[in-house]
Structure 1
Amino acid sequence: MDSPTVLRRRLGSELRRLREGAKLQAKSAADSLGFSATKVSRIESGQTTLKESDVRAMLELYGVTDEAELRQFITLTRRSTQRGWWHDYGDTLPEWFQTYVGLEADASQIRSYESELVPGLFQTASYAREIFRTAQWKQLDDDAIERRIKLRMQRQEIVRDPAALTVHAVVSEAVLRRPVGGADVMGQQVNHLIEVAQQSNVTIQVLPFSAGAHPAMGTNFRILSFSEVPGDIVFSEALTSSLYLEKQSDISWHESVFDQLTTLALTPEDSMAWLHTLAAKEYTA
């Protein structure tokens, strides 16, 4: 089932197509509808929940009169307002990250580069617990930490379905050298990465220190692709906020950087051998 986040993106994309088909600039459409230009932009990019009345007004302005098409848009609007399963964790999940979880839940492909952390979809509960315990920007009690871990483990369900999602992650050697939680926790985490990488829909590459300077230094990013909605999204996370990029020039730049990283990194096979050696030498109790 499509997530509400992705349904909003699909609806926004269709409304943009209709506006452009009606030869209307976003500012002109906003003026005619009594909306702000910002509201039209947020609707078309799927960043806000739509009201049926707003959708009906937009469809009327864009010349949509076919009853079947109107019903289809209204049905899509109603589905896009439904709560996703992750909203049950709203008490511990920042609103800006709820959007990402919704996108992740319906992505067909995720390409990522991580310089500091094991990707969330591959984290063990013990590793995640240590990360949350040191989240100094927001002190979390034990209950909140456990709820966040439960959410993270539930997010990982999508990786277990090869037909639904493929994941290709490039991980800096620094991620794996940093002893988060000590040798036991890291040993479990590294072995988990080895296990996960055996899945047909998962590719993990290690970017070694020996690769030297590279085009993603100082940043992390994820490129999310969708089977049902046109256009990719680049997601970059900061301590208390996130950045979503949808311009094609931004997408192309990140894709180019990711391709360079996969060339600089160890091959998937060599990466697994490297992880086996690391686990044996550094994280064996």
Structure 2
Amino acid sequence: MTPRPTAPPPLTWLYAPGDRPEVVAKALSSGADVVIVDLEDAVAPDRKAYARAATAELLSAPPPVPVHVRVNALDTPEAEQDLRTLSPLPGLTALRLPKVTSPAEVAKVAERTAPAEGGAIPLYALLESALGVERAYDIAGAHPALRGIALGEADLRADLALAAGQDRALDWSRSRVVVAARAAGLPSPAQSIYPDTKDLDGLASSCAHGRGLGFFGRAALHPRQLPVIERAYTPTHEEVESAEQTLEAAATDPGAQALPDGRFIDAAVVAAAHRTLTLANRPAKR
């Protein structure tokens, strides 16, 4: 029998600008699985030092939920200061690396941030260019400290010169990143942010599409987006019922190859059923 899966990975990832501690505080109480404090795009150049200092104060002790920090672009002096200041802090859960284009960038950060006693800080690589997407699998396997990859779709759109409103034009890149992550043994990536924070119907439709492509969960810009993401990625009643039937049949007859209605059963189907029920039983946050 296929073993039961471990606890599911995070489902919601909420960005908050590092130079606005009051917004970060609200994010920490929003119910998001992970809060991402952004020191990069959300912070103006003349606010970088303040954002770093405010984030260091936050991370001087473990916060109530996991906190990741998106540092500045790795080829900038700001990034070096981010890594030097934040890496030793006890409240830091992981670092998110923007605009990654090569495995060497990930390995360099992993070595730079590894504590003396061993064990690098968990890293997440954001692929935001055509070159990053082309090298997705190599980046995904760059270092054991890398725990995930994800698309940065706004920058990728600009790099590919995509016209506004052409959302499905990114589907090839999305699928490539999903496959690269799983091929490298990483979790299914979370979707990139949906930029219109008031268009909740559009967000729901986009999440459904992303789930169909193999993503799991999504990054958000505003707390109002979190319940929509949770509903989109939580198994439906029909999916739960199907999973329960699968597991009941597998337990009753371990050698069964099909359900009474003809649906095929094998180890992968059983594992998927366990995963569905694990997701369905996630503790409610709202």
State the TM-score bracket (shorter-chain normalisation): under 0.3
Looking at CA atoms only, which structure, 1 or 2, has the larger radius of gyration?
Answer: 1
TM-score by length of 2: 0.24
Higher RCO by CA contacts (8 Å cutoff, separation 6 or greater): 1
Q: 1 or 2, which has the higher helix percentage?
A: 1
